[in-house]
Amino acid sequence: MLNHPHIMRKAQEEIDNVIGAHRFLEFQDWHSLPYTRAVIKETMSFPLGVPHEVGTDDEYEKMHIPHGSSLVANAYLISKDEKLFPSPDKFKPERFLEIETMGKYISPEAVNSIFIFGFGRCICPRIHIA
């Protein structure tokens, strides 16, 4: 964010317009802050893989994955996929606004992709509180 002060100012302006200076953010305010949500998603969409334990024996592309194995998603490669994230090397919160409003760029699973919270069925159930 320090490298993009114009983005930080725009998010602060949105917060000030919705919440003002005399109260704290409340859960019901969240839907009134689309740009701020987009900035948070863009800021947190960095490639970090957290190991997950395989709950049962599994098979993927003819490879046996035994119960108890640790798997780490290749978040770096996913974050560089131009089909999911156009211009992946640019800090561009607007990409999440486009995704939310148009819904045509990527799958619903990717809309909520904030890699530190996991993927698919393994996504953290507390993502919205965080």
C-alpha–C-alpha distance, residues 110 and 74, integer Å: 14
For residues 115 and 52, is the Cβ–Cβ distance under 8 A?
no
- Residue 122 annotated as binding? no
* 112 backbone dihedrals φ, ψ, rounded to 5°: -95, 15
C-alpha–C-alpha distance, residues 106 and 109, integer Å: 8
Residue 101 half-sphere exposure toward CB, CA atoms < 13 A = 9
For residues 36 and 43, is the Cβ–Cβ distance under 8 A?
no
* 63 backbone dihedrals φ, ψ, rounded to 5°: -105, 130
Annotated binding residues for heme, written as ranges, equal 124
Annotated binding residues, written as ranges, equal 124
